[in-house]
Amino acid sequence: MPWPHVQLSADPAAFPARPPADPSDPAAIVACDHAAFDSVETMVDHWDRPGWTARTRAYYWMLTFTDNQALTGLARHCQQHLAPLGLDPVPLDGLHITLTRVGSASTLAPGLLDDIVSAAMPLLPASFGLQAVPLAGSRGAVRLTVTPWVPVLALHAALSKAMRLNGVVPRKPTALFRPHLSLAYNNRSRPAGPIIKAVTPLRGLPPVELYVQEVQLVELRREGRAYRWDVVKGLPLG
């Protein structure tokens, strides 16, 4: 069965602002990600997010990869190479792809998460494979490119529909979603050139295969300069 078509939109608030011409073509996605990161002039502080405190708890849909040793090895190698830059590495047991925010734990109505989960289950697409490709970034992070985008977009669209059916408007529509897997967060304003220079030789490393069989609903928090979470519910893909 073909994946449902998702029309992506250009938007300066997204990164890359312009999506790849073909979200099913790994080469086009990698080229788009590299070009976008190589054009960044100034890195921003990823952690400068008004409203987030040590006590903030929020629900997100995510893909997690705690048991993928190849991904862990690639992440470790890249993080060690980038260590002199003083970035904040993502914990190796915390590698993830963020899909969409559901809402704040302090404001969601009781029972709403259960309703969203129930609505999502019949909408979920089949399990799928991805590649995590070294190495690009954004204005606030260094990250792996995820290819292809199409199955991740289909999953994002299904979860967004389940949320809308329960009166929850996703913060970011699927048309502006850009799948990626962060390895290290930038923690201050600085010129991007040295980071781009350090990242470039890592692009010769081989990609890692990922197999997505489940999506997780998590309660997310920040511990220092890292994200941590508790899994509320794991939903198997079809």
**What pLDDT score does 11 carry?**
95
Number of domains comprising the chain = 1
How confident is residue 51, by pLDDT bands cut at 50, 70 and 90?
Answer: confident
In tens, the pLDDT along 187-197 reads: 999 999 999 99
Q: Note whether residue 153 is domain-resident.
A: yes
Q: Cβ distance 149 to 20 under 8 Å?
A: yes
- Residue 17 lies inside a defined structural domain of this protein: no
Diameter of the chain by CA atoms? 49
Instruction: Work out the pLDDT band at 76, boundaries 50, 70, 90.
Output: very high
**How high is the pLDDT of residue 198?**
97
pLDDT above 70 covers what percent of the chain? 98
Domain for residue 39, yes or no? yes
Query: Residue 231: is its pLDDT beyond 60?
Result: yes
- Considering the domain boundaries, does residue 213 fall inside one? yes
Higher-confidence position of 173 and 51 = 173
Q: Does residue 18 form part of some domain?
A: no
- Tokens, residue 231: 């899994």
**Arithmetic mean of pLDDT, 81-89:** 98
Task: For residue 141, name the pLDDT band (cuts at 50, 70, 90).
Answer: very high
Domain span including residue 56: 29-236
Angle, CA of 156, 127 and 180, to the nearest 5°: 45
Q: Mean pLDDT score of the chain, rounded to an integer?
A: 95
Q: What local confidence, expressed as pLDDT, does residue 115 receive? A: 97
- Note whether residue 19 is domain-resident: no
Please, which pLDDT band fits residue 146 given cuts at 50, 70 and 90? very high
3 state SS for the chain: CCCCCCCCCCCCCCCCCCCCCCCCCHHHHHHHHHHHHHCCCEECCCCCCCCCCCCCCEEEEEEECCCCHHHHHHHHHHHHHHHHHCCEECCHHHCEEEEEEEEECCCCCCCHHHHHHHHHHHHCCCCEEEEEEEEEECCCEEEEEEECCHHHHHHHHHHHHHHHCCCCCCCCCHHHCCCEEEEEECCCCEECHHHHHHHHHHHHCCCEEEEECEEEEEEEEECCCCEEEEEEEEEECC
Q: Residue 82 above 90 pLDDT?
A: yes
Query: Does 2 map to a domain?
Result: no
- Model confidence at 58, pLDDT cuts 50, 70, 90, reads very high
CATH number at residue 104: 3.90.1140.10
pLDDT of 14: 94
pLDDT tens per residue across span 11-25: 999 999 999 999 999
4 pLDDT band (50/70/90 cuts)? low
What was the pLDDT predicted at 109? 86
Q: What is the pLDDT of residue 2?
A: 57
Distances (CA, A) of 30 to 38, 98, 133, 136, 210: 12, 19, 8, 8, 16
Stretch 73-90: mean pLDDT, rounded? Answer: 98
Higher pLDDT, 55 or 216: 216
Cβ neighbors of 3 (< 8 A, separation 6 or more) are 24, 125, 150, 151, 153, 154
The predicted structure's pLDDT at residue 3: 60
